Every structure is written in structure tokens, then in C-alpha cells.
Amino acid sequence: MRKILLLTASALILFSCSKQDVSDFSIENEEITIFHASMESAPVSDTKVYSNDQLKLRWNADDRISLFEKKSRNKEFKFLGEEGASSGEFEKVSFIFGSGNPVPHNYAVYPYSSFTSILDLSPYSITLKLPSEQTFKEGSFGVGANTMVAVSDDDFLNFKNVCGFLRFRFWGNNVKVKSVKLEGNNSEKLAGEATVIADLDKNPAVTMNGSATGSIILNCTEPVALGTSSDSPTAFILVVPPTNFSKGVKVTVVDELGRVYERVITSTFTINRTGMKSFPAIEVNPS
């Protein structure tokens, strides 16, 4: 019995030392911080016919952001507000282990990703991934599709869009769409790893990296029935990095039966940051 007690005491001493060691190397002793966030104004279509048709920019319930609090350590914050709010508060929920290096400001990125990081350059740059797959949402874009960044020296984050928006309007008889794929006719890079330069009181600038890909797929969780005339088309909105499509684009529509419709647009056009390009209604005839 005495040997057992001695062993137990030794174990307690060892545990106490281990616990102290962990405490000595602790990097997260501060209280949870609340950040306030807002978005820039909603974009308006650059087509005069649709000049009054704004795209709503709103937070989703439980949205998550990556936040670098003046250190290059990625922390995850969650939105505390309600679905559809244009502003609200974010609360810290987790962080990537490590002390991180000092950075001059607070940098925030929507949506959250453990991949997102800050490079110690001048100016500081953010490495992130633009989604190659997005999800259809009626009258808007899918959750997590619209990448945004914010830079501040306090607890207020004014998020700015990194990308722009491309809207197709499709119609057809008895057609239900399962997916829409976008490609540039000159192999423009549209998704994947990208570098964003962001600074105080400046608009973000994005550059697609070498590993980026040349297509974006908009998936429909449930097949979407198209309007049956050019007067009542159904809108499909994709979030696209600022790009000059020097030879136009190709859009591929797949319906619920697996049938395919392709449309090639050869005219040159440009997607600007936070701008929206809209096309006239297109009839879809899958085959």
C-alpha cells in the first residue's frame, strides 16, 4: 500500500509539473474579443435596363471569418447577428495554435478558412482561396461565395468585396437546372489560390496565383425551374474575381436529367471589383 501511495504522489507531482509547463507556454490567456462588422454598399448592374436592380449583400446566420489581431495567427470568429443583417458583431470561437508574428493592423477575411494566412511583405498580403464551387441562392449568391476583407486598427471591421458579380438570366420550357459552369474563352484564372493586397482605407486588389483554375461551377441543391419566357427569366449569380474576359466566356448549363446546353459569348467584357455584369435573357434548350 505504501508503494502505491508513493507512486500516486509521484504521479501527482509529475502531473503538476506538466500542467505548469503547459501554462508557461500558453498563448491564449486574453478574454474573448467582440468585433463589430459592416459591409460596403450593394453593387448595381452595369446594364442600363437593370439599373434599379441591386444585389443584396447581407450576413448569414452563424457566418465565420478569419481574423488576425495584429498578429499573423488565424483566429475563427462567428457572427452573432440574425440572418439578413447588414452589420453585427463577431465573437471568437477558436484559433490556430502558434504565437504568430506582429502585423501592423487587424486583418479579417470572409469566409473563414484555416488555409488563409498573412505574408510578411510590404505591403502585407493575404493568401486565400476563391471557391471553385458555389451554391445557388435565389436573387443572390451562395453562402461563403463572396470573399471579403477588412483592415482596421480598432474593433470595427468594414468589409470590402474582393470580387465582382456575373449574372445570367435563363428561361426555357420545362427546364430545371442542376448546375451552371463558367469558363473564360482565353483560359482566364477564376478560382483557387489567390493573393490579396489590403490596407487601411484602400480597396483590396487580388491576383490569381499559378495554381488557380479556369472555371467556376454554380451548383443547385435542388433543381431550379426556369421561367418560361424572356420576360420572366431566372437569375443565376456567380462571384467572379476582377477579370478582363478578352475573348468572352462559355457557360454550360446541366439540367436535372443530365442534359447539357452550352452558350458561347464572344464579346469582350470586364468584371470589376464589386461591380455586376448582367446579360440579357438566354433561352436554354438542353440536348
pLDDT 10s digits, 233-279: 999 999 999 999 999 999 999 999 999 999 999 999 999 999 999 99
Query: Residues near 262 by Cβ (< 8 Å), separated by ≥ 6?
Result: 250, 251, 252, 253
Distance CA 227, CA 234 (A): 6
> Cβ of 120: how many Cβ atoms within 10 Å?
10
- Residue 48: DSSP 8-state: G
Query: Per the structure block, which three cell numbers stand in for 129?
Result: 482561396
What integer best gives the mean pLDDT of the chain?
86
47: confidence class by pLDDT, cuts 50, 70, 90: very low
Q: What is the pLDDT of residue 32?
A: 53
Rounded to the nearest angstrom, the gap between the alpha carbon of residue 275 and the centroid of all alpha carbons in its chain is: 16
pLDDT 10s digits, 166-212: 999 999 999 999 999 999 999 999 999 999 999 999 999 999 999 99
Q: Are 27 and 148 in contact (CB under 8 A)?
A: no
Cα distances (angstroms) measured from residue 222 to each of 140, 174, 203, 232, 236? 16, 15, 36, 20, 14
pLDDT 10s digits, 69-116: 999 999 999 999 999 999 999 999 987 777 788 999 999 999 999 999
Query: Per the structure block, which three cell numbers stand in for 59?
Result: 450576413
Phi–psi pair at 20, nearest 5 degrees: -65, -40
Residue 13: pLDDT over 50: no
Q: Are 68 and 75 in contact (CB under 8 A)?
A: yes
